Chains A and B, each alone.
Chain A
Amino acid sequence: MTEPLLRVDDLHVTFGGQSQQVHAVRGVSYEVNRGEFLGIVGESGSGKSVSSTAVMGLLPSSAKVTGSIRYDGRELLDLDDKQLSRIRGSEIAMIFQDPLSALTPVYTIGQQIIEGLKLHDRSISNQAARARAVELLGVVGIPNPQRRVDSFPHEFSGGMRQRAMIAIAIANDPKLIIADEPTTALDVTIQAQILEVLQKAKEITGAAVVLITHDLGVVAGNADRVAVMYAGRIVEQAPVDQLFAAPAMPYTIGLLRSMPNMAAPREERLVPLEGRPPLLTQLPKGCPFADRCPAAFAACRGEEPALLPVAGDDGHVAACIRAEEIAAGRLRRPDIFPRPEEVEAVPVARVDSAPVVELRDVKRTFPVMKGTVFRRRIGTVKAVDGVSFSIGRGTTLGLVGESGSGKTTTILELMELAKAQHGSISINGVDTATLSQADRRKLRSEIQIVFQDPMASLDPRMSIQDIIAEPLTVTGAPKDEQVRKVARMLELVGLEPSFANRYPHQFSGGQRQRIGIARALIVEPKILVLDEPVSALDVSVQAGVLNLLEDLKARLGLSYLFVAHDLAVVRHIADDVAVMYLGRIVEYGPADLIFSDPRHPYTQALFSAVPVPDPQVERTRSRVLLQGDLPSPLDEITGCPFRSRCPLYKLLPEDRQRRCAEEDPAARTVHDREVRCHWAEEERFDVAV
């Protein structure tokens, strides 16, 4: 076919008035052929969402759009809203990031699918539309579609809502599906399911898919072709294998090298991609990446490089004046972004084996109450249900699990330094239940926390000096000592000491997270609790913060409790791993052991759900897909709590299944780690799909 399905040509989108123009998209051109899967990758603010929203004609009226968007021979920019509405939903469908706000809460899922069907096909009868809605829900893998079609969006979990969104998107057999970060708000296990459904939807409808994401791992396994966006432009575009194997633009190279990889050995340090993207209000002359590019020379700053074909490769284009050198191998990729050297570890005396943190059978339940006048207890949420672990001096424990598994409750319980509801917590060998108010305050300087969202954890009204010095005010340190220590801390986390009198909003996400780390370290704690410290950061910034954490651990002999849902990050930083499911630890042991040979079916599924940024690996490896979602913590579960989703359970003979259903597996030591599964010793069943 000569004419591609969608051709975007020199698209420019500008927001704002004369005084402050934001150039969100600057000359983007791409094509999508029929049935093709295009991945668009970029960091936040790179213009990837704006450019595809422009295709749908859904930009606010304040946006100035120029260029050309041709869909199936028609120019979309010339159409008015009414004409566009006929195309939207029937020929081009969109899947949004947040499935909760994309569905109307007052209508049932079925009504919303039927609405989509009837809008574009008036002749369809009510019965036929309903039958089709049920069929669609079945296609996207919603159990019991007959009954579920009458559910409201709030009765669905996040993953099911996203499935319903896909059902609405494919209702009219569209030719093009645009998915804008469809899995960003979801857990990895659910992400794997949704990507699977998206592939299935593509096969059924034969539609082309444009997948917009910040995660290179997600495109690696799914896309045919990948476009990388930076500062409002496409800087590189190539077939997926080509892009991952031989990237020609330094930004792509840096992005690929900065990603922690589940498959890579743990000793390898990450390569940080320093700096941040230019502000879209005032673009520098020349290549927008030049400031962050180690391979930049004077010519890079003169003129913005055009997107030109890279010699020898079909369909590979890159916007870099040194692309030829890189492609030909004269400029070696590892030389552009060399791996930083390891910082020598302070030898920690491993002889004192007493753990610095120890939790023993800690439980935390929340009552669920109903009624306003006569409040009665209608149930109990077991947020944490018997968690035990210990962290040795100078080691890192990675606590992983889906959202709702009780990770955060566990660390909040620890940070209270109070008597646990059940079980015991001890820090440096002291049981927290026995502490007096004054002792507790003293102990606070031993254990500090770094939060997930670096913006929310810094008081916007306080200067960096006051923020970092706040822990010192508890002990009443004199002012000049505070100033001195803050300067030292800023230097320690790699920031200028002169930043002390600025305010949080003047810093980028990565810098703010460094400030949060500096605040935690100022009282010289021995233990640092890290609650998803990098999940709110862009990939390129993430590597710098992770390296910093590793350096600090090595130099100061810190112990980390590292909570994360990103297994690649945990793989990179943790010595021990504890996998949580429904408030309990299902597998706990040395990280290398668990990552190389997971024994619990849940751990296996979790690992296999993590996308690997390598298309070859992605295509060949087998997957363990989990069924359904996390059960409600309100349910009373007998037997093994993981039974309902367990891929192994389905393969077991009936007598063994009975044991799973009746007996709750206790934690046992199998192959040098603790596992809660009756069948952990068995050689692995082939549960992979």
Chain B
Amino acid sequence: MSSIDPTTTTIETEADSASAPPDVRHGVLRRTFRAKRAWIGAIALALITLWAFVGPLLAPYNATDSDVLAFGAAPGGGHWFGTNDIGQDVYAQTLVGLQKSIIIGLIAGPLATLIAGFVGAIAGYFGGVADRVIVWVIDLLLVIPSFFILVLVSPIFKQLSWVALVVLISVFSWMIMARVVRGQTMSLRERDFVKAARYMGVKPLTIIRRHIIPNVASLLIIDATLGVGAAIIFESTLSYFGFGIQVPDVSLGSLLASYSNAAVTRPWLFALPAATLIATVLATSLLGDAFRDAIDPTSGANRD
């Protein structure tokens, strides 16, 4: 005999509910890739990344050596993107620059999201003084034009490596997301399962890690994906004006800067690296957009 009154025992009648997706995130992934945009974005991004890192190994020239037989050559022959004034292969340079841009984007975008997630969750969960200080910092960073700050401090990090640039980009792009996470956390905080955890004696940081972050994870994933594209653009802008990546490093931005004066006379020097930049950012945006539509059914393409 069962240990308990058999009449109070419920039996799951629907056997097929067991086959339902066990994880909500899993469902989001499936919905994301129902959109064609997501596939295009993901495949394009994968191809571009592969190209950036494998391409240089297969290319006939490297980025620094001069080809004395072809100064300022148009695309064709062995130089697929042409060469510059001193005979350097633009294709190889673009790939090296792309590598750096992708690495910066992939680190800076998610790093900003990470900061946003933690700072926002802490502000929203603890409230009070912590919240007020954090909101004050966020508002301050939002009203200060970040571009000028970066320009001002650029002499300092000119001596540092590109990693400093990554950190700086992240530091200036987490604020809006942090506010969103803070708002979400404040409403999650009042939910019964968070209250239940509190009354069990679970420590606040554990609650944030276990209950808050997973429940805003979808937002964070979107933000990280869209953030990659934004960081690449930001870095390129800075580098274009000479405040970003410093020689000997190259990125797409610094490449564009050095060839911008040739944009009219020898368009390939400018147009082909620019096209690569646009393709990369477009791919991340397509993927990020598809994520957002899958998670928030009221936004974008799913709305009717």
Contacts and interface: CB of A to CB of B under 8 A. Distances in A.
A537 to B, nearest CB: 12
B196 A457 contact: yes
Interface string B200-220: 111000100011001101000
Contact of A501 (B13, B22, B201): B22
Contacts of A551: 4-5, 8
Nearest to A453: B192
Nearest to B22: A503
Nearest to B9: A494
A514 B11 CA distance: 12
A496 interface: yes
Interface in B1-34: 2-5, 7-14, 17-18, 20, 22-25
A440 B22 CA distance: 36
Nearest to B218: A461
A340 B193 contact: no
Nearest to A548: B8
Interface in A432-485: 440-441, 444-445, 448-449, 451-453, 456-463, 467, 470-471, 473-474
B4 A492 contact: yes
Given A470-B200, A474-B200, A496 B7 contact: no
Nearest to B217: A461
B199 A415 contact: yes
A506 B17 contact: yes
Interface string A505-528: 110001100101001000100000
Given A463-B22, A506-B20, A496 B201 contact: no
B197 interface: yes
B303 interface: no
Nearest to B7: A340
Contacts of B8: 272, 340, 494, 544, 547-548, 551
Interface residues of B, number: 35
Interface in B41-89: none
A334 to B, nearest CB: 14
Contacts of A452: 192
A457 B192 contact: yes
Contacts of B200: 444, 448, 470-471, 474, 523
A474 B193 contact: no
Contacts of B2: 491
Contacts of B192: 451-453, 456-457
A418 to B, nearest CB: 12
Nearest to A466: B210
Nearest to A510: B10
A366 interface: no
B195 interface: yes
B274 to A, nearest CB: 42
Contacts of A499: 12
Given A503-B23, A544-B8, A544-B10, A451 B195 contact: yes
A551 B3 CA distance: 11
Contacts of B4: 491-492, 494, 548, 551
A319 B9 CA distance: 27
A360 interface: no
Interface stretch (A274-282, A575-583, A637-645): A274-282
B201 A444 contact: yes
Contacts of A456: 191-193
Interface string A290-310: 010000000000000000000
Contacts of B3: 491-492
A445 B211 CA distance: 20
Contacts of B197: 470
A86 interface: no
A474 B202 contact: yes
Contacts of A458: 193
Q: How would you classify the secondary structure of chain B's contact residues: helix, strand, loop or mixed?
A: helix
Contacts of B18: 502, 506
Interface string B252-271: 00000000000000000000
B215 A461 contact: yes
Contacts of A275: 10-11, 13
A279 B15 CA distance: 13
A346 interface: no
B22 to A, nearest CB: 6
Nearest to A450: B196
A453 B193 CA distance: 10
B201 A474 contact: yes
Nearest to A342: B5
A513 B193 CA distance: 13
A118 B47 CA distance: 67
A510 B211 CA distance: 23
A449 B196 contact: yes
B7 A547 contact: yes
B201 A441 contact: yes
B10 A274 contact: yes
Nearest to A449: B199
A494 B206 CA distance: 30
A341 interface: yes
B199 A448 contact: yes
A502 B192 CA distance: 20
A548 B210 CA distance: 30
Contacts of A448: 199-200
A343 interface: yes
A22 interface: no
B284 to A, nearest CB: 26
A495 interface: yes
Contacts of A505: 20, 24
Interface in B171-197: 191-193, 195-197
A448 B5 CA distance: 23
B187 to A, nearest CB: 11
Contact of B5 (A340, A457, A471, A496): A340
B66 to A, nearest CB: 57
A80 B4 CA distance: 58
Given A461-B215, A470-B197, A496 B12 contact: yes
B201 A440 contact: yes
A448 B12 CA distance: 27
A334 B196 CA distance: 40
Contacts of A470: 196-197, 200, 202, 210
Interface string B118-154: 0000000000000000000000000000000000000
B7 A519 contact: no
A491 B11 CA distance: 12
Nearest to B198: A415
Nearest to A552: B4
Interface in A638-670: none
A502 B22 contact: yes
Nearest to A547: B8
B100 to A, nearest CB: 36
A467 B13 CA distance: 22
Residue of B2, B4, B197, B214 contacting most chain A CB atoms (<10 Å) = B4
A108 to B, nearest CB: 32
Nearest to A523: B200
A279 B14 contact: yes
B193 A459 contact: yes
4 closest residue pairs by CB, A with B: A457-B192, A444-B201, A494-B9, A451-B192
6 contacts: A279-B14, A343-B5, A444-B200, A456-B191, A494-B9, A494-B10
